[in-house]
Amino acid sequence: MKRRLILKLAGAAITASLAFGGAAQAADTIKFGAVAPKTGPLAGGAVVTHWPNIKLWVAQVNARGGLKLKDGQRKIEVIEYDDQTNPGETIKAVQRLVTQDKVDFLIGPYGTGFNLAVAPVFAKYGYPLIAMTAITDQIPDLAKKFPGMFFTLGSTTPIVQGLADILAKLVKDGKIGNKIAMVNVADAFGIELANAARPIFKAAGLDVVYDKSYPLGTQDLSPIVKGAKAANPDAFVAWSYPPDTFGLTGQAMVQGLDVKVFYTAVATSFPAYGGKFGVAANNVMGTGGVNPDDPAIKEYMKAHKEITGLDADFWASSSVYASLQILEQAIEGVGEVDRAKVTEYMKSNSFKTILGDITFDENNNNAKYWTVGQWQDGVYQGVAAVGRDGAKEVRLKSGWK
């Protein structure tokens, strides 16, 4: 009996030692929480743009020994949740990360509507929110309402204006007519872009002859494309999310929607888009872009492939990574896990990123972002931008073969 008691005490001591060691190890890390789709309609976009860049950033920071704080370096630990492309699940997961997992910082979710949905939760608990995949004209109002919310991808009007300017010039040069077929996904992203496009297109002398929305997650997009084709447009514009970007393009090929300008939004910049449609993708336009000849972008894309095994997309991937660079530099600039100080640091400092130096003006980036891209000879090139150099000349589309 005495021997059993000694063994029990020894076991208890070992257990206590392991528990203490685990606590000590946990104290040597900085915990980040991340919520985004791994299932549901937007999972395809998140697994290209969102999750790989978190993996890349964490791997690189930890390889350097971790984040540099006043009391030494601390490696990053990430707790991830799948929101199933459901804003309600996003909110619940963020609350769990804060109240149960006790994370030190939160990484912004994927998609415009999801960032807007969780902004009150981030603000309530005092976490800075870099909405790295959100596009909205509500930035000034949101910055006042949520002082800890920052934007790096751009706002709605310049995205639309960039396309409108391209279309208007093509009309003026006699290269296309002015009839536009426009469709949008009925989500915060698509609705806001379509609402902005109507008056901007009209002011540019463009005639929207077909205007249709469809629910997020729509499987059969053939009626949408059929209606657009029947309107006999000169250009087709879709404010679309990844599944519908692929679906609308596929239907356009099947139904022979032959326009000189074919534009789809999110996921047009995905390598998988060029991979799936091959030469047929040539001269398709889409949202955003990059300058693939920029040395910083080249280095980033090389590292992305080496560490994640995946190709970065040619638009928002770089924004996600740059946003994480900003968060990293802000935490190191403060030198401690103090969310309020980190938020203030982001407001008043400049950050070196793969997209160049970024500063925030009323929580928006310093007006440097790509607005329109186009597949040209197998590469997605930026063709219109705000404050960025390297835009390529626009090409007309000529059929799908």
On the 0-12 / 13-18 / 19+ scale of CB atoms within 10 A, 10 is exposed
Does position 255 have pLDDT exceeding 70, yes or no? yes
2 has a pLDDT exceeding 70: no
Mean local confidence (pLDDT), 333-352? 97
Strand pairing partners for 182?
A: 211, 237
pLDDT tier for residue 366 given thresholds of 50, 70 and 90: low
Q: How far apart are CA 372 and CA 171, in angstroms?
A: 17
For residue 289, give the DSSP letter: -
pLDDT higher than threshold 90 for residue 7: no
pLDDT for the residue numbered 358: 93
Tell me, yes or no, if the two domains 25-155+294-370 and 156-292+371-386 fold the same way: yes
Q: Dump the DSSP string for 194-220.
A: HHHHHHHHHHTT-EEEEEEEE-TT-S-
Q: Which helix (H) or strand (E) holds 360?
A: strand 360-361
- Rounded to an integer, what is the distance from CA 184 to the centroid of its chain? 18
Classify 25-155+294-370 by CATH class. alpha beta
Q: Give the pLDDT band of residue 389 (cuts 50, 70, 90).
A: confident
Of the pLDDT bands very low, low, confident and very high (cuts 50, 70, 90), residue 367 is: low
Measured CA to CA, the distance from residue 85 to residue 113 in angstroms comes to 10
Q: Is the pLDDT of residue 14 over 70?
A: no
- Report pLDDT for 387: 86
* The two three-digit tokens of residue 87, written as one number: 């804003």
Residue 10: the pLDDT is 37
Domain 156-292+371-386 architecture: 3-Layer(aba) Sandwich (3.40)
Residue type, 363: N
142-162 pLDDT per residue, tens:
999 999 999 999 899 999 999
Q: Which is nearest to 190 in space by CA: 214, 161, 165? A: 214
Task: Break the chain into its structural domains and give their ranges.
Answer: 25-155+294-370, 156-292+371-386
Nearest to 186 by CA among 216, 227, 219, 211: 216
**Is 240 in contact with 273 (CB distance < 8 Å)?**
no
**CA pair distance 349, 50, nearest whole angstrom:** 25
Q: What is the pLDDT of residues 180-200, one digit of tens each?
A: 999 999 999 999 999 999 999
- Percent of the chain at pLDDT > 70 equals 93
pLDDT band at 365 (very low <50, low <70, confident <90, very high): confident
Residue 6 has pLDDT above 70, yes or no: no
Mean per-residue pLDDT of the chain: 92
Helix (H, G, I), strand (E, B) or coil at 25: helix
The yes-or-no verdict on residue 26 having pLDDT over 90 is no
3-state secondary structure of 379: strand
